[in-house]
Amino acid sequence: MADRRSTDATKISFPLQLVILIASMVATSVATRYSTQGGNEKVQNEIRSDIRDVLTRLQGAHDVAEVQSKLQEERLSGLRVSIDAQATAMKAAIEAVSKKQELQALQINELSQKLTAISVGRK
C-alpha cells in the first residue's frame, strides 16, 4: 500500500492557458445554447403566427362560403316564388282563354241556329 500515490486535489495544478481555454469553451457553449434557444423561440413564434394566419384565413373562407350558401338559398327561394307566381298567372290566363273560347263557341252556335232558323223561314 505504500506504492499508492496520493490523490489530493489541492496539489493538482493546471496551466493558465488551459483554464482559459476550458472557460472559453464553456462560455461559448452556453452562449450558443442561449442564442439557439432564442432562435428556436423566434422560429416557434413565427410558426405560431403563421398558423394563426392560416386559421384566420380558413375561418374567413368558411364564413364567405356560408354567406354565399345563404345567398344562394335566398335566390332559390325568390325564384321559387317567382315561378309560382308565373304559374298562377299562366293558369289564370289559360282559364280566361278557355272561357273566351267557350263563349265564342256558344256565340257561334247561337249564330248558326239563327242562320238555320232564317234559312228555314225563307223556304
**What pLDDT was estimated at residue 19?**
86
The cell numbers describing 94, all together, are 289559360
Kindly report the number of other CB atoms within 10 A of residue 8's CB atom: 7
Q: pLDDT tens-digit profile of 43-99?
A: 888 999 999 999 999 999 999 999 999 999 999 999 999 999 999 999 999 999 999
pLDDT at 1 over 60: no
Chain centre distance of CA 5: 80
pLDDT at 110 over 90: yes
Q: CA angle 57-62-68, nearest 5°?
A: 125
**CA–CA dist 3, 85 (Å, integer):** 118
Q: Which amino acid is residue 3, in one-letter code?
A: D
**CA–CA dist 79, 71 (Å, integer):** 12
For residue 6, what pLDDT band results from cuts at 50, 70 and 90?
Answer: low
| pTM for the structure as a whole | 0.45
